[in-house]
Structure 1
Amino acid sequence: MRASIAAFFRRIDPLAVLSISIPFAVYILTLAPSVTFFDSGEFITAIDSLGTAHSPGYPFFINYAKPFTWLPFGNIAFRVNIATAVSASIACYGVYLLVCYLIAADNRFRQRETVPIFVHGCALAAALVFAYSARLWLQSNHDKPYPLVSFLVAIVFYLLFRWRDLYDQGTEAPRYIYLGCFICGLATGAHQTIVLLIPSFAWLILAKNWRLVARVKELLLAVAFAILGFSIQLHMPIRATQNPLLNWGDSKTLEQFLWNILRKGYPSEPPDRDLHLLWQQLSAFNIPHEFTWIGVFLLAVGLLTSLGKNKDLVIAYVIGVICSLLVIVGYFNAQAELIFLTEEFFTPLYLLTAVFIGLGFWFLLRHGLATLRANQLKSLPVMLLVALFLLILPVTICAINYYENDQHENYVAFDYATNTFRSLPQGAVLFTWGDSGAFPLWYLQGVERMRTDLDLLHTPHLVFTWYLDSFPELFRYSMLRSLPGALNSAEDALKIAVAEQIERRPVFIDFSTRYSLPFPEYGLQQQGICYRLIKGGAGRVYAPDVAVWDLYSPRGYLSQMGFRDLDTGKAILIYASSRMEAGELLLRLGMRTEGIEQLRAAAVISPDLRFQVEGLLNAYGAGQ
């Protein structure tokens, strides 16, 4: 027994363990401690309730992350963030596995027992380069499905390499293809961008023998396994029958299921594209930004030196890049302000890029060591030089991206949501407009059970029957149900919903709603970062309730957290703009001391507003 245990541990590759544990350690150090902006609150709420997130639902990601909510420490958001850190870490192992396999298949260099150390060292360096790339690291420190997709992509490539090698040896092993097809189907439940790499997978198979496409039985079996993996999508209609807390699209019927999975809830008009916009869209795939120009050089070396034995892999990589750009840039044609969202879709391509960087490391190291004898390769100076050569790039990339990806003090979204709650009286209804304003509130109320007395209504969803069904007490007899959805804009729906609710309870809107739609028929009183609508108060000016600021946690806008992403910066600006708006109104109403205090506070929260604040103070004769 003791001997078998020792043999088991001897078989463990320590550098493979490091390819997972080193990234994971850094990810944990930089992990967001709670909910963040963008889709975070919505994903966590869906995961905790085993529900359905926004289209296309993400059922595999939700089921993957659910067990992490059972961890005995931290809040639910932190536990789900750990799930993403784990998936990002095993994606790094995917790079390690592929580099080791590809180098081992290259028999041009044999240096006896010391070779595995250098082979595995190159693979570890490539894994760490990928680990600390800006995109993967950003996705690792809070809930994101893309690292999980990247890991699955790596496994499919590995399976296809195994199949190809056995095929070259005259052995038929279709089980590898069947398993790869199953994983591809499963991966659609993490993110549908997996389909962008299917042409690359197909190339690796058909490049061996184009006649394989005529094997109808095996082709049907491959499709069957893909459908079996795709059956993870049944999570949505099955769970919809249980009415989970978050049931986006309510996929109980085939019509709603297809509406959800085909993303029909996102109608948009693509912009007219000019060369400048096209360049911005293409620049979303940015290898120099992810890996530095040294990484680009190593990528070029890896690609060029792979044109021999691994030519089909190079072609598969090029096919993947072309297909991704044709769909993401060509078909999606994202508007300028939404291009940052498409950057996330390229993560699997960056994984393949890191694999070629590892092969570039290997080529340079192989030629650098070719003149040395075996005993020289074992010497300490050579080992140290090799370690320095392999680690300098990942350490550099880590240093470049650490500040931007260090989220361990990021409580901005959490505090923004809790401060919003503190703005609202018992039993109020709040209308939000924008995912980042709504989703943290959903998480805190639905998962952490804060302020369950409130109704939180997201304006863009008021046009959907499935959303109205999730608030039966509010909308059972609403006029919104009698209007054709296609003719009912979110603005019109908001007006109707407000008119119905304001008869019964306090009605509030958030900052984004306040500046998205005018409300001339109501009075408007500012309460911190929210606004109360007052029936019959049209035309009247109401002094802002500044006392609510004393209830707020200032950590969310006065903390010294480092890098702030787009929506985090917007939240800080909303705090400052709300203070500045309140200060100007108070000065206009003759409340000089209170107005000056609010304006000064705005300048402290956002120094960028300092000149505007000074301009307002001077305009009212309150400047220094």
Structure 2
Amino acid sequence: MTGLLGLKDKSVDRIHILMGALVFFGSFIVYAMTVQRTVPFWDCGEFISSSILLAVPHPPGTPLFIMIGRLFSLLPVVADLAYRINLASVFFSAFTALFSYLLTVKIVRYFFNGDTQSTTSRWITYLGGVAGGFFVAFGQTNWGNSIEAEVYSLAMALSVLMVLLTVHYFENRGSATAVRLMVFVFFLAVLGVGAALTAFLVVPVCAISFILTTDATRRDWLVLSGCIILELLLIMLFSDGRGGPTMFFLVSGLVGLGLLMMLYKKIDWMVAFAIAALCSIMLSFELFLLVAPIAFSVCLLIGLLHMEWNLGIKLAVFLVLTAATTFTLWLQYNMTVYIVFLAVAGLAAMAAFTMLPQAKNWRMNWRSALAIMVMALIGFSVHLYLPIRSAQRPWIDENHPARDYRTFISFLDRKQYGSESMIDRMFHRRGTWENQFGWHPHMGFWSYFEGQYSKEGGTFLFWFALGIIGMYTAIKKRVEVGVPFMVLFLLCSAGLILYMNFADGTKYDFQTGDAYLEVRDRDYFFTPAFIFFGIAMGAGISAVLQYLRVYLHKRMPSLENKVVYVGILLALLPGVALGTNYYQCDRSKNYLARDYAMNILNSCDPKTVLFTSGDNDTFPLWGVQEAYSFRKDTRVLCLSLVNTDWYVEQMKNVFGVPLSLTDDEILWYPYTAPDGREYMRPKKMFRDLPRNRDVYLTPNMYDGRMVKVQDMIVDNVVISNQWKYPIFFSSPPYAESPLKLRDHATAVGNVYRIDRDPMPGLIDIDRSYDLFMNVYKFTGMNDCKVYRDENATGVFTGLGMSAVHLMDELDKRGDRDRAIKLGYHMIDVYPEYWQTYWVLADYFDKANDSAKSDQLFTQLEDTLTSFLAQNPDNQAYMMDLGMTKVEIGRRKKNEGKINEGLVLMKRGFDLNANNGYAFRKYATTLYQNQRFTDLQAAATKYTEYKMNISDPMAQQILGIKPPAGSQFDDN
């Protein structure tokens, strides 16, 4: 019996299976222990609600994940629906770890020069595989993706499986099994795009194994792999005005011609043709849906040339199947183009069938190519879910891809995020090379890379060396496996750095508003790189053991077998990653997003129309509404989406929001202006009553200011509502409204209600007090052992600010007792918010009770110290603790304490000098302590992020004027 390693010893195969099971169940148990039990922040809330509803989330729709999420929502393993869907990530990431173990074992098998049968060799193989699987499982980013409803767990499982099957294909080249493996890989690749396009990233490297024939030499493998690396270098060479995409494609074409001349006898051209057609999906879905069907027709034609059927049958089969697959030409262009194409294709087929009878003798691998195209198109069919489900008008139906083919394609190509293609944008760098490849907040690759398996710093050099040793040994022992693996890592790291082109904030464009610093950490995009490097580290452990074994064999043969004991110790190294990352990745007690969402919904009156601002005050609310059927009477409308025509139409026709506009006044259509330029706009103007004008529902200028679609719609909803439904906002409504909405926005807890007759002070004192004291949930907020990232810390700051505002209003109205009671309550449930202590201390200072004030500041210092100890890189804790130390030093006239606080604040500010909140705290504290040189330096560093040049405080400190094109520009 042959086992998974290709070995015939049944007992060893059992050990192999047990080791794989150890990796799978070990990672599964850890993930299950740390998985979030409820709705998380960011996209997860939308994915959870979309899975429950079988809805259409944001582009590109992730249909495969949504359907699988729906299946998991039906499994009665736990009561909480959000918990069930989060478990999908646990399941798939455990398989990622298992596949990583198997792939590491496959690679390490080549390290022994054919001596794979000995017990020592086998144990070295297994131990390296176990280490590789657990390095992957407990890497910080992959673990973080594995404990919440995110698409990357499924995409990564498919990616590693595809690479594993490709190595298996290489070992079985020339057999029927190899062909089946190759076809299955491409089915998985295109199917995986239904989770994330990242899943397809491994295809260009896997393709090297598939397109090279069995007589290809090591040099041929090196040349083809080297071409991929050369393409990455060409992108860097032609970026930033040095030729751009035109020169890149020109030189790439020349490289391709050179490759053709060198390898034309070593390449399976039919398979290469099919793979090239499928790879068009990496450029755009629009191109793929044109190229892939035509490529299928070409493969079909060549296949029919080899058949013994008569002309009529051949022609009928060709025309029927070609017509069925190339109908995208009709959808993309028109029926005339479609018919002309079919006519030309039919004539070409007839000519080929009659004039090339000898074609049946051509040696062409058409069966494999045709099978690849058929299975790939079947895999892509998962995307048909999007227009089919969208046509049924689910509650979440982003972009409404059922509207027409153009909308469907734009949805898949994510065109709502910008009209410039990712390929073109790649050649206009949105950050410096050192920031994109090195250390930088929210986007620097090395910042994430060195923190994957241990704490950042010099210790990473050890892990890095392990990975390099693993890759080097793989290349040395088997070029055909090692070189493609190295290229795969480079493609998933350097390639993604070049392609994603994340902005570092130093190249912000005031005219377009593009290239501001990334709003959140982008480490998840590099998950494939971290996974494949974890596998390389596992292979590195086996390589070190084998080198040690060879050394002992020459010097101390009696100790050769003892190397296994060293291997056991090295196989425990992933425990460092487990211990280092456990706290940050443990979401088992994290209910922050759920409570935040419920608190907002509980603030609203029945049947409210609630306007939210962005992802994190929208998606968790959707998730809570669907997972718990909680406050579904409230219509949650995201203002950033209200800027789109499809969402406004849904507000009117699906959500039942009061709107006076007709569909022709809402939906955009292509329009050609008299000067020949093309626009998108509605068919008709609408009456913009607040501004007393007729205008198209598109962004436009009015009274010297840009009026957004969301501004006009908010005004129209308020007018059309006629006070039928309560209208709430999660943040204050826009200040420039002609309806003076801010003058009618009454604070109710953490939200704002539009009142016809505003309440005194624009705050509902009694309702807000009841919300904070009796209604709002703060589960885990007083526990520093519950991890919260920068986002969670910032989101809850708004809750603290609202409570402090309520305290001030109570005090102004002579109700200091309730103000103090509220303050102490907030300290109990939300102890990390600094301002609560300061306001209470001010009350006691005014009452000449400095003892209580000092006690509050001491308590705040102790609290923030404990929170910072658990979250040593949390900028908010660092800034607030430093500011508190400065205040304690001022009160006690302790200059040393003041300096200690300022040093800590500088450390915090330097973590992300783009943070305006941190800058204001630091600048204000420096000014109050007359540290003017440091103040200038802080403002200078802050304005290195070009968008911040518009900050009035920075302008005042540095004596500069607003830049042209900014919102503060006098012109």
Fold equivalence (TM over 0.5): yes
Structure 1 position 250 matched with structure 2 position 400: yes
Residue matched to 2:140: 134
Normalised by the length of structure 2, the TM-score is 0.59
Q: 1:37 is matched by which residue type in structure 2?
A: F
Q: What are the within-5 Å matches in structure 2 for residues 198-237 of structure 1?
A: 198-206=203-211, 209=216, 210-211=263-264, 212=267, 214-215=269-270, 216=273, 217=366, 218-219=368-369, 221-237=371-387
Q: Is the 8 A contact 1:55 1:248 kept in 2?
A: yes
Q: What are the within-5 Å matches in structure 2 for residues 165-564 of structure 1?
A: 165-167=171-173, 173-206=178-211, 209=216, 210-211=263-264, 212=267, 214-215=269-270, 216=273, 217=366, 218-219=368-369, 221-252=371-402, 253-267=404-418, 273-274=431-432, 277-278=435-436, 279=438, 280=440, 281-283=443-445, 286-292=448-454, 293=460, 294-308=462-476, 309=478, 310-329=482-501, 337-338=517-518, 340-370=520-550, 371=552, 383-391=564-572, 393-471=573-651, 472=653, 473-475=656-658, 477-478=660-661, 481=666, 482=686, 483-485=696-698, 487=700, 488-501=708-721, 503-511=723-731, 513=732, 520-521=740-741, 522-537=743-758, 541-544=762-765, 545-549=768-772, 550-555=774-779, 557-564=781-788
Say if 1:469 and 1:623 are closer, same or farther in 2 by CA, change over 3 A: farther
Residue matched to 1:608: 834
Residue matched to 2:322: none
Say if 1:259 and 1:517 are closer, same or farther in 2 by CA, change over 3 A: farther
Residue matched to 1:3: none
- State which drifts further: 409-418 or 280-289: 280-289
Structure 1 residue 234: Cα displacement: 0.9
1:169-200 Cα deviation digits (max 9, x unpaired): 78893333222111111111111123443332
Q: 1:118 is matched by which residue type in structure 2?
A: I
Structure 1 residue 144: Cα displacement: 0.9
Q: Is the 8 A contact 2:400 2:407 kept in 1?
A: yes
Q: 2:378 is matched by which residue type in structure 1?
A: L
Corresponding residue SS for 2:631: coil
Q: Is the 8 A contact 1:203 1:316 kept in 2?
A: no
Higher relative contact order (CA 8 A, sep 6+): 1
Q: What are the within-5 Å matches in structure 2 for residues 15-30 of structure 1?
A: 15-30=19-34
Q: Is the 8 A contact 1:31 1:141 kept in 2?
A: yes
Corresponding residue SS for 1:557: coil
Corresponding residue SS for 1:526: strand
Structure 1 residue 273: Cα displacement: 3.5
The percent identity for this pair of structures is 21
Q: Is the 8 A contact 1:52 1:236 kept in 2?
A: yes
Structure of greater Rg:
2
Q: 1:317 is matched by which residue type in structure 2?
A: F
Corresponding residue SS for 1:532: strand
Structure 1 residue 139: Cα displacement: 0.8
Structure 1 residue 427: Cα displacement: 2.0
- State which drifts further: 62-71 or 354-363: 62-71
Corresponding residue SS for 1:447: helix
| CA–CA distance in structure 1, aligned partners of residues 516 and 744 of structure 2 | 36
Q: Is the 8 A contact 1:419 1:552 kept in 2?
A: yes
Residue matched to 2:74: 70
Q: Is the 8 A contact 2:111 2:474 kept in 1?
A: no
- State which drifts further: 336-345 or 265-274: 265-274
- State which drifts further: 209-218 or 449-458: 209-218
Say if 1:340 and 1:541 are closer, same or farther in 2 by CA, change over 3 A: closer
Q: 2:792 is matched by which residue type in structure 1?
A: T
1:241-273 Cα deviation digits (max 9, x unpaired): 233332222221212211211112224999964
Residue matched to 2:119: 113
Corresponding residue SS for 1:452: coil
Corresponding residue SS for 2:657: helix
Corresponding residue SS for 2:637: strand
Number of aligned residues: 614
Structure 1 residue 616: Cα displacement: 5.4
Residue matched to 1:87: 92
Say if 1:56 and 1:377 are closer, same or farther in 2 by CA, change over 3 A: same
Say if 1:450 and 1:623 are closer, same or farther in 2 by CA, change over 3 A: farther
| CA–CA distance in structure 2, aligned partners of residues 273 and 161 of structure 1 | 37
Residue matched to 2:58: 54
Q: 1:246 is matched by which residue type in structure 2?
A: I
Structure 1 residue 17: Cα displacement: 0.7
| CA–CA distance in structure 1, aligned partners of residues 13 and 536 of structure 2 | 30
Q: 2:126 is matched by which residue type in structure 1?
A: H
- State which drifts further: 213-222 or 544-553: 213-222
| CA–CA distance in structure 2, aligned partners of residues 263 and 538 of structure 1 | 44
Structure 1 residue 340: Cα displacement: 3.8
Say if 1:543 and 1:283 are closer, same or farther in 2 by CA, change over 3 A: same
Structure 1 residue 325: Cα displacement: 1.5
Unmatched tracts of structure 1, length 5 or more: 1-5
Say if 1:558 and 1:79 are closer, same or farther in 2 by CA, change over 3 A: same
